Chains A and B, each alone.
Chain A
Amino acid sequence: MKNYKMAWRNLWRNRRRTIITAASVFFAIFFALLMRSLQLGSYDHMFRNIIESYTGYIQIQQEDFWDNKIIDNVFEFTPALEKAVLSDENAKAVVPRIESFALASVGSLTKGVLVMGIDPEKENLLSGLRGKLVKYRLTIEAISNIKKSELPDKIKNELDQLKDKSFSGDEPLRVELGIKEKDANIMLAPFVKYATFKNNYLIESEKGVLIGDRLSKYLKLNTGDTLVLISQGYHATTAAAKFRVCGVVKLPSPEIDNMIIYMPYDVCQEFYNAPGKITSLAISVRKNSNKSIEAMISRLQTRLKPPLRIIGWREMNQLLLSQMDADNKSGMIIIGILYLVIAFGIFGTVLMMTAERRREFGVLVAIGMQKTKLGAVISIEMLYIGILGILSGIAVALPAILIGYYHPIRITGAAARIYEDYGMEPVMKFMPVDTYFLWQALIVAIIILIAIIYPLNKILRLNTASSLKA
C-alpha cells in the first residue's frame, strides 16, 4: 500500500484524536487569519484615505518644504515642468497646490487652519473632492421634521444619535441607518426634503472656499457665510482677506477635516502674495503598486534638478508608517503566543500518539516494514492533520473575511470617538486574500515539522523486541 493511503487510513483509526488536533490548528488559523486580515485591512484603508484624499502617491516640492513647511519654500509652476512630469509613462495628471497655515476667524471664534490652494478640476480628478461635498446634514431642525414623516420607528430612534452628523452621499447615510438598497428611494425621500445641505464646488479664480465638516461646525459656518483668514505671506508680507464659504466637505481623516480650508490656487497665490508659485505638485499615477511608484520616483529624480525634490508617500507618511509598524508587531506577538500554545498542544498529541502506538510500530517493524517507510507514513499523517486544520480554518475564515471586506463594520457611538481621536476613520475593514494566508500555513507547517522529530527519532531507535512487549 502507498504511504499516503496508509497514513490517511491511520488517521481515521483514532478519529477523535485526529479531529481534536486538527481542530486546535483550525482554531489558531481561524483567529490568526481574522486578526491579520483586520489589521492589514485597517492599515490599507487608512493609507488609502490619507493618500487619496490628501498627500497623493508622489509629490514634487521645493527641497526644503517638507522639513520646513513655510510659504517661502515655494517654486515656480511652469508649463515646462508640467510637460516634463507628464512625459513619464506612469503619470496621469499633475495637480498644483499651495499649502500653508492661517488663522481663521469668524466673529469671536478663531482657529488655526490649514489652507490648501488647489486647482478645482484637477484636484477633483486626483482626490474626488467634489464627491466629498456634504449632501445631507442632520441638524436638530431637520431631525424633527424627518421624524414627522413616515419612517419605521427603528430609523426614527436612531436619528437622535446622529445629531449634527453630515453625510456626503446617499450611500453612507443608507448604511448608517441600515436601510436596504431597494428601499433607498422611498426611505431617503424625507432626508432629501429636509436635510439637504446647500453646497457649491470651487470655481477657478473666484474667492469662495470649501471648509472641512468639523471645522465648519467649530466655526459655526454655513454656505454663504464669510470668514477672515490672517496669515504670513510670501517673504514676510502680511496676508489677510475675507472669503465666502461656498461649500462644506467631509473628509475621512478627522484630523484634516478639523483644520482644512480649500480655495482655488490662483486665489491662494494672491492671498499669500506669491503669484505663479506653488508649494507642491501632486502627481496622480496610473499604477500605484509599490514597485511602479519606486521606479517612477527614480525616473523623475534623474529628470528634475534641485531645488526641486521628489517625495513619495512613504516619506510623507513616516509617522503613520511607524505607528502601523508598532501596531503590526504587537499583533504578530499576540498571534505568536497563540501559535506557541497550539504548538504545545500538537506536541502533546504527538507524544501520546507515539507512546500509544509503540507496540504497533514494533509489530510493523518486526514483520519487515522498513523504519524509514514507517517514519514517512507517520510524517504524512501529521501533515494531513495540519492540512486539515489549515484548510478548514481557511474555509471558515474566508467567507467571514470576504463579508467584512465588502461590508466593512462601521463603529458607532462612543467607541467611534476613540478612533477619531487617533485620527482614524471608525471603520473596521478586512483585507482580502493576500500573502498573509500563506504565512499562517507556513507557520503551522513548521510547527508540525518540528513536532514530527520526536516520533521519527523514536521510530528510528525502536528496539523491536522490547516494544513488542509494551
Chain B
Amino acid sequence: MIWKTAWKNVWRNPVRSTVVISSITVGVFAGVFSVAMMEGMVNQRMRSAIDEEISYIQVSAKGFRTDYDPALIINNSGKIESAIKNTPGVTGLCERIVLSGMANTARKSTGVQIVGINPDQEKEVFSLFRKIMPGTGTYFEKETQLNQVLIGQDLAKDLNIIQYSIDSAKLSELKVNGIPGNITDRLSVLTGKRFGSEKLFVKKLKSMFSASEAARYGQLIKDKAWTFREGSRLTLTFLDKDNNQVGAAVRVTGLYDIYNNIYEKNVVFVKNDDLRKLSGIPNNSFHQLIVKINSIDNTDVISSGLKIKLPDLEVLSWKEIQPDLALLSEMTQIYYAIFMLIILAALAFGIVNTMLMVVLERTKELGMLTAIGMNKKKVFTMIMLESVFMSVIGGIIGILISMLVISLTAKNGINFSQYSEGFEALGYSAHIYPEIAPLFFAEVVVLIIFTGILSSIYPARKALKLDPAEAIRTE
C-alpha cells in the first residue's frame, strides 16, 4: 500500500517530477558514458601493452630486467623451456635476445633496443605481426641477402626513412580522388623533389596553397605523398659479448605501427640467428623467455607456479613488469567511483529541494494522515520511497540511454584524430571504443538508490516533526 501511494505521489505534480527525473537521467548518462570512454581507453592500452609489448610473463636471468646487462643470459634454455611449456595454462613461448644499441642512417642516429626474435615463435605470443603498415613490407617473410630489421613507424620518421614525394602517378591518382586540376597542376612543381620529414613537406604545402586549400586537400596530398622505400637500409651499432663495437648493415623488412610511440621509437626486431652471428651469443642462450597464458585472470597463479619451478631465474608477471599498468586499472576504478559520487551528490541537492517542497506542500495532508493513525515509520517510508522512485526511474532511463549510445559508438569508435599525436606519445590510441563492464551498471543502480534514500532523510524528518493538530489547520 505504501509503495503504491508513494508511486502515485510521484505523479501528482508531473512537471516537477519530470524535472527531477530528467536531471538524474542526464547526470547518470553523462557519468556512465564518460566512464565508458575512460574504460575503453584504459582497456585498449592494457590489451595493446600485453598483446604487442610485454605479454603475460617474462623469464630472464636474475637482475636482467633492471640492468639489461647483456652478460646476464639464460644458458641451456631447452630444459627450462620444456618446464615452462609443461605448466598448465601456458599457451605460447618465445625466445628473445635483447641488446642496447644505436640505429643509424647516413645522416641520423638514435638509441634503440635491439631485440632478437624467432618470427614463428613470436606469432604464437604477440600480435605485432598483424601491425605491419600496408605497403611497407612484411614480417620477416621475404628472404634477402642482408640481415633484416623490423622497425616502428615513428623510428622510421626519426631516421628519415619515411619521405614525402610527388610523382606523375601520384598526381593522377590524386585527380581520381577528386582533387581539382588547378591544385594538381601547382603541385606538379614538386615532382622529383624529396622531403625528409612530414614537417618540411607540410611547410612547403602551406607556402604553396592558401589556408583553406591546405585545410581541404592537405591531408589527402600528405597521405599520397607518404613514401617508404621498401628495403631501406640502416646500420645497427652495438657491443658484442666481448664488448667490441659491432656495426651491421640491415635492410628494413617492414614498419610496425602500434599506439605506443615510445615503444615504436625504441624497439627494433631482428632474427635471433642473425643477431647471434653478430654478437657472438651462443646457441640456445637467450636473455628473455616470454610466456603467453590462456587468461589474464590466471596470471598470478601461473607466475607464482613458475617462480617455484625456476628458482634460479627471475619470473615476472606483467603486473611486476609494468606495475603502473596494473595500478592504472585499479586507480581508474576508484576514479570512476569518485566521479559518479560527485555527480550523484550534485543530483542529491536537486532531490532534497524537491522533496522538501513536497513535504511543505502536503503539510495539511501529512498532518491528516498522522491524525487518523498512520504511524511515523510509514510516513517516513512513504516519503523515502517517493524519492527513491524518482531516482531509480531517472537512473534506469539514464542507463538505458547510455547502453544505447555505447553500443552505437562501440562499433566504429570515436576518433579524436586531432589529438592522436598527443595520445600516442602516452601509449594510448586516440580512436576510442567506449566499453563498460556490465557490473558497473549494477553499482550505479545501487548508488542511485542510496542517493534517493539519503536525500529523502532530511525532508522526511521534517514531515515527522509536524504536529498533527497544527498541520491540519494550515491551508
| B15 contacts across to A, CB distance below 8 A | 351
| Chain B, Cβ-Cβ closest to A336 | B30
Selecting from B65-73, B248-256, B377-385, B434-442, the interface stretch reads B65-73
- Interface residues in A, total, Cβ within 8 A: 62
Q: Are B419 and A113 in contact (CB under 8 A)?
A: no
| Chain B, Cβ-Cβ closest to A26 | B349
Dominant secondary structure at the A interface: helix
For window 391-420 of A, CB contacts with B under 8 Å fall at: 414-415, 417-418
Q: Are B31 and A337 in contact (CB under 8 A)?
A: yes
| Chain B, Cβ-Cβ closest to A343 | B23
Selecting from B99-107, B118-126, B285-293, the interface stretch reads B99-107
| Chain B, Cβ-Cβ closest to A347 | B19
Contact flag A323-B422 (CB < 8 Å), given A101-B109, A356-B361, A417-B323: yes
Task: Determine if A334 is an interface residue (Cβ-Cβ < 8 Å).
Answer: yes
| A69 contacts across to B, CB distance below 8 A | 108
For window 106-138 of B, CB contacts with A under 8 Å fall at: 106-112
Q: Are A20 and B107 in contact (CB under 8 A)?
A: no
Task: Determine if B34 is an interface residue (Cβ-Cβ < 8 Å).
Answer: yes
Task: Determine if B309 is an interface residue (Cβ-Cβ < 8 Å).
Answer: no
Minimum C-beta distance from B15 to chain A (A): 7
Q: Are A72 and B16 in contact (CB under 8 A)?
A: no
Residue of B69, B243, B245, B353 with most chain A CB atoms under a 10 A cut-off: B353
Task: Determine if B423 is an interface residue (Cβ-Cβ < 8 Å).
Answer: yes
Contact flag A230-B237 (CB < 8 Å), given A68-B160, A341-B343: yes
**Cα distance A259–B100 when bound, in Å?**
13
**Cα distance A415–B327 when bound, in Å?**
7
**Contact indicator per residue, chain B 120-164, by CB within 8 Å of chain A (1) or not (0):** 000000000000000000000000000000000000000010000
Task: Determine if B238 is an interface residue (Cβ-Cβ < 8 Å).
Answer: yes
Selecting from A49-57, A76-84, A103-111, the interface stretch reads A103-111
| Chain B, Cβ-Cβ closest to A64 | B200
Minimum C-beta distance from A409 to chain B (A): 15
Task: Determine if B80 is an interface residue (Cβ-Cβ < 8 Å).
Answer: no
Contact of B23 among A218, A236, A341, A418 (CB under 8 A): A341
Contact of B101 among A110, A320, A417 (CB under 8 A): A110
Q: Are A345 and B23 in contact (CB under 8 A)?
A: yes
Task: Determine if B414 is an interface residue (Cβ-Cβ < 8 Å).
Answer: no
Minimum C-beta distance from B399 to chain A (A): 16
**Cα distance A108–B27 when bound, in Å?**
58
Contact of B353 among A326, A340, A345 (CB under 8 A): A345
| B357 contacts across to A, CB distance below 8 A | 17, 352, 356
Q: Are A345 and B109 in contact (CB under 8 A)?
A: no
Task: Determine if A166 is an interface residue (Cβ-Cβ < 8 Å).
Answer: no
| Chain B, Cβ-Cβ closest to A21 | B353
Q: Are B349 and A24 in contact (CB under 8 A)?
A: yes
| A17 contacts across to B, CB distance below 8 A | 353, 356-357
Minimum C-beta distance from A400 to chain B (A): 16
| A230 contacts across to B, CB distance below 8 A | 102, 237, 245
For window 94-133 of A, CB contacts with B under 8 Å fall at: 101, 103, 105, 107-113
| B71 contacts across to A, CB distance below 8 A | 108
Q: Are B112 and A414 in contact (CB under 8 A)?
A: no
Task: Determine if A307 is an interface residue (Cβ-Cβ < 8 Å).
Answer: no
| Chain A, Cβ-Cβ closest to B111 | A112
| A231 contacts across to B, CB distance below 8 A | 109
Minimum C-beta distance from A29 to chain B (A): 11
| Chain B, Cβ-Cβ closest to A348 | B19
| Chain A, Cβ-Cβ closest to B108 | A70
| B27 contacts across to A, CB distance below 8 A | 337, 340-341, 344
Task: Determine if B347 is an interface residue (Cβ-Cβ < 8 Å).
Answer: yes
Contact of B345 among A27, A108, A347, A417 (CB under 8 A): A27
Pick 13 A–B contacts, CB within 8 A, sort by A: A23-B349, A24-B353, A27-B349, A68-B196, A103-B102, A109-B69, A110-B239, A112-B110, A231-B109, A319-B421, A337-B34, A338-B343, A417-B324
- 4 interchain residue pairs of minimum CB distance: A112-B111, A344-B23, A345-B350, A24-B349
Write the residues of chain A forming the contact surface with B, with a CB cutoff of 8 angstroms.
16-17, 20-21, 23-24, 27-28, 31, 64, 66-70, 72, 101, 103, 105, 107-113, 218, 220, 230-232, 236, 259, 319-320, 322-326, 333-334, 337-338, 340-342, 344-345, 347-349, 351-352, 355-356, 414-415, 417-418, 421-422
Write the residues of chain B forming the contact surface with A, with a CB cutoff of 8 angstroms.
13, 15-16, 19-20, 22-23, 26-27, 30-31, 34, 67-71, 99-102, 104, 106-112, 160, 196-197, 199-200, 237-239, 243, 245, 323-324, 327-328, 331, 339, 342-343, 345-347, 349-350, 352-354, 356-357, 360-361, 416, 419, 421-423, 425-426
A113-B111, A355-B13, A356-B360 known; 13 new pairs, CB 8 Å cut-off, are: A23-B349, A24-B353, A67-B196, A68-B108, A105-B243, A110-B238, A322-B422, A323-B423, A326-B416, A341-B343, A347-B23, A414-B323, A418-B331
